[in-house]
Structure 1
């Protein structure tokens, strides 16, 4: 299950989904999306208690590969999660042209 960045922007604007950023801290220092929940991929299994099964999550990394693995894991644990196609790099290209790309 996936979501495109432009559709995600619309959904985030009306607060209907939580953006879960699973990048590493050094990546988040380069660029981030305001309001995101940051949990690095390798910490997800240990921090499931920070997530609410009643909410829907859009899972984002740099390009969409790590977030796909996290999305599959979360869905397997009973959470509602969608992978953000192209990750924050696609967000920078299609939604926020002022965002630093790396």
Structure 2
């Protein structure tokens, strides 16, 4: 009995879908052309608002804490020239943000 009910339901759903597709094709309205939308002003206002928090967020959230894995430097001296990794990792280890790092 359950399989017969499933068969009837499947056939009736398929028939309804076929009739609905042919009816909607017959009553289809012609496509409406829309005026072009100016996205540029909205985008110009939205991008700085979305990117602003990213630019001002700290690149190293552990800066200034007791546990800062980036706050380490290795240095040596080659002849009279001191060489250190703090020149590269110093600003990030101190907690700078992307805006300061890019100089904006």
Regarding TM over 0.5, the answer is no
Higher helix share: 2
Q: Using CA pairs below 8 Å that are at least 6 residues apart, which structure has the higher relative contact order?
A: 1
Report which of the two has the higher share of strand: 1
The structure with the larger Rg is: 2
